[in-house]
């Protein structure tokens, strides 16, 4: 089903500013739906008549729509009141009796206006009442009706108020407190009273200032959000947390205005003690994992440094080369752990690792080659250029280590055996489609001819690709000269 933005973009008469306002309304209209215990349907003017472009079901009551009405169209004249409201000729229509899904319902139409222009019409539809409403339902209906008047005058959603992205945002079912313009509690739902009572606010809260009442139970040693007083007084449309007795309440204030003047506020409250505790545990776990990666990286770099020192003491070239290869492999594993330090999950942006593998491969053959742009050590050195084509993206940490080792081994082989005498370009091409990844390590040197790649590095690469990555590793001569080593693997999905 198309999104609201797609529907609005197809209507030529809709301005970008008007579309943004409706997106903002739909992002926060569950508050109105929950207070009124009603379905909300947003109707806009299309070329052939009114069209429903968004729908919200209440979390506090039953819905009147079993089938989503989004996309429904009405011919012009089918609903005279709706047509008149969309044309800006009338104000809010009173409650009428409807039939929805074979059941009796109540309907109300409210124009959605901004800067004096009617952008849409909000249909508020709820099941026909079967009994007298409770005191809580009556108060919530009153608050919802006041928000509808704000929508009609372009005052809701509130300009500058963020749509709550944070986990644990309170909703009407969690608890509602009604304040007057001075922050005095006029009414509180049973769930709101229970939440505050658990935090040490005993007795009846009616008639007292919420800010003063809450201040008495705040933890003196805990940091206090600077926005908390504004939220407790209902003066700003904002979110804040309040800590007391080792627990946490999440509060959200929605000021109520009439003709531009603040006449009260709605404060939503939710006990998020357990949620915040889990978030702290995740943060601690994440910090611990980062510290482990940091220490492993440092230890691997220390091992590489020890191998480098030991290689300098070797009297034979064969021993020095063996230790140098071991040092390079240890340094490659350290690169993966260093990359894990940069992210918040157990995944590696492998393109960054490839950049370092390229540098490491060229530096490993520094006696005979030098990187493009770096100074020559001796006149006999040739220049090697490096190039990266395509992207790999993120891969799991347990796949990044063997893959990085393979890429480094193959890139080093390409430099030492293909480019060490002639110089040229070392290219790594990456092509990823979903879980399928193909990486080609290419050089434009003399090529391998009919010889089959062999050696310890080749065996290590083949073993890692087949054994740990479950893929294939093949070599081929390029048509214009040079060699290409192709890694073909299927990656495991990254867990959320």
Report the number of distinct structural domains present in the chain: 3
Q: What is the mean pLDDT of residues 295-310?
A: 75
Output 170 or 494, whichever has higher pLDDT: 170
- The reported pLDDT for the residue numbered 337 is 62
- Strands 382-389 and 424-433 come out as parallel
In a domain, 68, yes or no: yes
Over residues 106-158, the pLDDT tens digits come to 999 999 999 889 999 999 999 988 888 888 999 999 999 999 999 999 999 88
Most confident among 53-57, 226-230, 311-315 (mean pLDDT):
53-57
- Based on the domain organization, do 211 and 287 belong to the same domain? no
Tell whether the model's pLDDT for residue 355 goes beyond 50: yes
Average pLDDT, the chain: 82
* Same-domain status, 112 and 239: no
41 lies in the same domain as 107? yes
DSSP output for 23-70: HHHHHHTHHHHHHHT-EEEEEEEETTEEEEEEEE--SSS--S-SS--T
Mean pLDDT in residue range 485-495: 82
Mean pLDDT calculated for residue range 368-386: 66
**CATH at 309:** 3.30.565.10
C-alpha torsion sign, points 198, 204, 206, 209 = negative
| Cα–Cα dist 359/316, whole Å | 26
Domain assignment present for 13: yes
285/382 same-domain check: yes
DSSP reduced 3-state for 472: strand
Q: Give yes or no: residues 250 and 317 share one domain.
A: no
Whether residue 299 sits in one domain with residue 261:
no
Residues 6 or more apart whose CB falls under 8 angstroms from that of 427 comprise 386, 387, 388, 389, 440, 441, 442, 443
Picking from 243, 271, 299, the residue at the C-terminal end of a domain is 271
- Whether 185 shows a pLDDT value over 80: the answer reads yes
Domain end marker among 271, 302, 318: 271
Which ranges of 341-379 would DSSP assign to H, the alpha helix?
A: 350-364
Task: Supply the pLDDT for residue 322.
Answer: 76
Question: Could you tell me what percent of the chain has a pLDDT over 90?
Answer: 23
Instruction: Evaluate if pTM is beyond 0.75.
Output: no
pLDDT digits (tens, 9 = 90+) for 37-89: 999 999 998 888 899 999 999 999 899 998 889 988 888 877 888 888 888 87
Q: What pLDDT is attached to residue 164?
A: 53
pLDDT tens figures, 245-299? 767 888 999 999 998 899 999 999 998 878 777 777 766 666 666 666 667 767 7
Residue 178 has pLDDT above 90, yes or no: yes
Is 410 found in the same domain as 317? yes
Whether residue 159 lies inside any domain: the answer is no
Weakest-pLDDT range from 166-175, 284-293, 350-359, 381-390: 284-293
Q: How high is the pLDDT of residue 477?
A: 85
Residue 30: the pLDDT is: 92
- Same domain, residue pair 316 and 441: yes
Helix (H, G, I), strand (E, B) or coil at 140: helix
CA distance 35 to 139: 9
Q: Same structural domain for residues 448 and 472?
A: yes
The C-alpha atoms of residue 50 and residue 42 are separated, in whole angstroms, by 10
Report the distance separating Cα 316 and Cα 233, nearest Å: 80
Strand 185-188 relative to strand 483-490: parallel, antiparallel, unpaired? unpaired
- Asked if the structure places residue 140 within a domain, the reply is no
pLDDT of res. 342: 59
Is 470 part of a structural domain of the chain? yes
Q: Please give the residue range of the domain that contains residue 63.
A: 4-134+145-152
Q: Is residue 432 part of a domain?
A: yes
Say yes or no: 67 and 34 in one domain: yes
Does 186 lie in the same domain as 79? no
**Mean pLDDT (whole number) for 174-187:** 93
Q: What gap in Å lies between CA 486 and CA 442, rounded to an integer?
A: 9
Residue 106 sits in a domain whose CATH number is 3.30.450.280
Furthest-apart CA atoms within the chain: distance in Å? 98
Residue 139 in domain: no
Alpha-carbon gap, residue 253 to 228, rounded angstroms: 10
Predicted local confidence at residue 261, as pLDDT: 92
Confidence check: pLDDT of 496 > 50: no
Q: Do 337 and 417 lie in a common domain? A: yes
Is 416 inside any structural domain?
Answer: yes
**Single residue among 224, 247, 271 that ends a domain in this structure:** 271
Question: For position 261, which CATH number holds?
Answer: 3.30.450.20
Decide if 62 contacts 127 (C-beta within 8 A).
yes
């Amino acid at each position: 089903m198309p999104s609201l933005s797609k529907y609005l973009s197809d209507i030529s008469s809709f301005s970008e500013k008007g579309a943004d306002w409706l997106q903002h309304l739909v992002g926060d209209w569950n508050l109105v739906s929950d207070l009124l215990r009603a379905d909300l349907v947003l109707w806009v003017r299309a070329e052939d008549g009114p069209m429903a472009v968004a729908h919200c079901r209440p979390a506090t009551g039953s819905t009147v729509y079993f089938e989503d009405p989004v996309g429904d169209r009405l011919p012009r004249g089918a609903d005279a009141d709706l047509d008149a409201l969309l044309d800006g000729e009338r104000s809010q229509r009173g409650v009428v009796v409807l039939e929805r899904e074979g059941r009796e319902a109540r309907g109300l139409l409210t124009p959605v206006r901004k800067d004096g222009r009617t952008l849409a019409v909000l249909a508020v539809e709820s099941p026909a009442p079967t009994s007298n409403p409770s005191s809580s339902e009556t108060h919530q209906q009153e608050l919802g009706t006041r928000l509808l008047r704000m929508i009609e005058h372009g005052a809701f959603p509130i300009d500058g108020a963020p749509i709550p992205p944070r986990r644990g945002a309170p909703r009407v079912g969690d608890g509602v407190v009604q304040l007057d313009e001075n922050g005095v509690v006029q009414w509180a739902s049973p769930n709101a009273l229970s939440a505050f009572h658990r935090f040490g606010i005993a007795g009846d809260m009616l008639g007292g200032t919420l800010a003063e009442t809450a201040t008495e139970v705040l933890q003196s040693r805990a940091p206090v959000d600077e926005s908390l007083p504004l939220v407790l007084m209902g003066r700003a449309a904002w979110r804040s947390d309040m800590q007391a007795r080792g627990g946490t309440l999440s509060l959200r204030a929605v000021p109520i205005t009439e003709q531009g003047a603040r006449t009260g506020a709605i404060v939503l409250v939710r006990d998020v003690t357990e949620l915040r505790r889990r978030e702290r545990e995740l943060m601690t776990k994440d910090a611990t994992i980062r510290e482990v990666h940091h220490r492993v990286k440092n230890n691997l770099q220390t091992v590489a440094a020890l191998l480098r020192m030991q290689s300098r003491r070797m009297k034979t070239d064969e021993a020095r080369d063996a230790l140098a290869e071991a040092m390079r492999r240890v340094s490659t594993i350290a690169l993966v752990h260093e990359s894990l330090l940069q992210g918040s999950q157990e995944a590696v942006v492998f393109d960054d690792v490839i950049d370092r593998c390229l540098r490491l491969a060229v530096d490993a053959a520094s006696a005979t080659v030098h990187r493009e742009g770096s100074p020559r050590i001796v006149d006999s050195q040739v220049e090697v250029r490096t190039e990266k084509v395509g992207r790999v993206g993120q891969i799991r940490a347990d796949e990044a280590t063997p893959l990085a080792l393979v890429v480094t081994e193959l890139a080093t082989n390409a430099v030492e055996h293909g480019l060490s005498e002639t110089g040229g370009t070392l290219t790594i091409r990456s092509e990823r489609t979903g879980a399928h990844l193909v990486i080609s390590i290419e050089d434009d040197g003399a090529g391998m001819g009919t010889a089959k790649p062999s050696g310890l590095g080749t065996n290590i690469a083949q073993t890692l690709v087949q054994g740990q990555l479950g893929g294939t590793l093949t070599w081929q001569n390029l048509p214009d000269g040079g060699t290409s080593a192709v890694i073909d693997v299927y990656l495991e999905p990254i867990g959320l």
